[in-house]
Amino acid sequence: MIRPRPIASRGAEPLLTSRSPIEATRPRLAILSYSNGRFDARTRRVARSAVGAGFDVVAYARWEPGLPLEETLGGLRIVRAPIDWRLAVPGLRALGRRRIAALRASARDAAASAARDQAEPPPTPATPAGPRPLRVKLSEARRDPRRASRRLAAGVARRLFGFIRPPIQLLLLFPLRPMAWGVALEDVAEPADLWHGMWAGSLPALDRLRRRHGGRTVYDSRDVYLHARIFDRIHPLVRRPFLSWERRWARSADAVVTVNDAYADILAGLLGIPRPAVVRNCPDPYDPPDGPPDRFRERLGIPRETAIVLYQGGLMTDRGIEQGMDAILHVPQAVLVVMGYGSYRAVYAARSAEARYRGRVLLLGPVPPEELLEWTASADLMLMAIQPTTLNHRYTTPQKLWEAIASGVPVVASDLPGMAEVVREVGCGLLCDPTDPLAIAASIRDLLGRPPEERAAARERALAAARTTYNWDAQARVLLAVYDRLMGHPAAPEPGW
């Protein structure tokens, strides 16, 4: 293993945030996290392991409104770049760069304003004067003789846009926005010896930054992207060009890794690449306390006699959240805690406020990755009723499954090939039909009603599996071996696209 300069073991010191003359002798790893970087636990684990192997590490992420352009989280320096899809189109890049400049200026102004607010309290706002009276010009209120023709034209335009909108949305999702992110990163990214890209959204940036700065690239395919969510539902002929883009960029990477054996087999055939190395998305080794922590009861005021069923992760469709909410209504003396963030948070907040869910479904925001296992260990049961809607879902082994195992918390999981194999091997829970709330409820009642000694035995089986195999230290050895192989063969810069 390459260790240009031995350093302390994982967790003993913060990650490096700048390069002094001495540190400049260390190889640099740049992690491209196609997310905002706030809750990407895998990126942080990769960074810690790489620092332990002698790398200087920086992460690049997507800027979103309300976030700083640069910050340090858990010792990891995160640099963010805004996205404007026009950067991906050569003829529109000037417009895109003006937009990016405006976004960056807005982010800097927001950061300066926040710093001022911390330094001195803001003045008390004046009492609002009330709504301004509505004024309408008389000419605007009169009947427009051309109104009918304009409405007809607008209706035709809406129908036409409705026809072309789905392909445009797909193109923006992949590859235009990822390509634009790659262009935007050129303004902030520093040279690196190794580039590690998370998700398919990082592929264009991986290719572009390697061509500009040299180094080697690792594509971390954490799912089967073009068989996930919206892409899995489109016609194969429509999906073909998108697959060709992913295949071309994946083949140009120097190595591909993924998160389970099923994905490795699927990706090898789908992308026409050697079978990827498997680096499971397991958490850091965790030694839970003898008495389980009680974070949820302390935060939410849940009575001691009420069982806590936890869903944690992305708040989006097809994750079984809706089915879990209906299922918990058939489990007495239990609540469902939905913890996480995502585009559907407002939807689930509104639904949980309905009379039938009130007091039975509780929403909680995301917690820092370093605290997640203690929160998980505070639950009585973990629910992961992922729906069998896509190829990606059928073979997924979500991070929350490994977190439940590490915490010794039993699971009720979808009876799908990916998760079922792990649950049966470890003996850590029950499988169910994720589409049927009554089946989910029956499995929850079964697990919660088992004798204490049986629950204790299941907990010990899970903790034993986590100690021996399903922990990040074991998985990091596979990843660092990939890094070691690549670092022996430096690459030169190539012309860009």
> Which pLDDT score, from 0 to 100, does residue 317 have?
92
All structural domains of the chain: 1-116+170-282+471-497 (3.40.50.2000), 295-468 (3.40.50.2000)
> Mean pLDDT lowest for which of 1-5, 176-180, 441-445, 452-456?
1-5
Q: Report how far apart, in Å, the C-alpha atoms of 114 and of each of 65, 117, 121, 252, 292 are.
A: 13, 5, 10, 42, 38
123-151 pLDDT, tens digit each: 554 444 444 433 434 444 345 555 555 55
Q: What is the pTM of this model?
A: 0.84
Phi, psi of 79 (to 5 degrees): -110, 130
Please tell me the distance from the alpha carbon of residue 142 to that of residue 347, in angstroms, as a whole number: 40
Output the pLDDT for position 259: 98
The predicted structure's pLDDT at residue 113: 84
Of the candidates 64, 9, 2, which has an alpha carbon nearest to the alpha carbon of residue 33? 64
Helices 41-52 and 472-487, packing angle to 10 deg: 60
- pLDDT value for 288: 83
Average per-residue pLDDT for the chain: 87
Evaluate if residue 458 carries a pLDDT over 80: yes
57 CB-near residues (< 8 Å, 6+ apart) = 15, 16, 28, 29, 30, 31, 47, 50, 51, 76, 77
Q: How far apart are the first and last CA of the chain?
A: 34
Residues 323-340 pLDDT 10s: 999 999 999 999 999 999
Share of the chain above pLDDT 90, in %: 76
For residue 288, whether the previous peptide bond is cis, meaning omega lies within 30 degrees of 0, is no
Look at residue 45 and tell me whether its pLDDT is greater than 70.
yes
Contact 372, 406 (CB under 8 A): no
- The yes-or-no verdict on residue 41 having pLDDT over 80 is yes
Identify the pLDDT of residue 16. 41
Question: What are the pLDDT digits (tens) for 66-114?
Answer: 999 999 998 999 999 999 999 999 999 999 999 999 999 999 998 888 7
192-229 pLDDT, tens digit per residue, is 999 999 999 999 999 999 999 999 999 999 999 999 98
Q: What CA–CA distance (Å, rounded) separates 159 from 167? A: 14
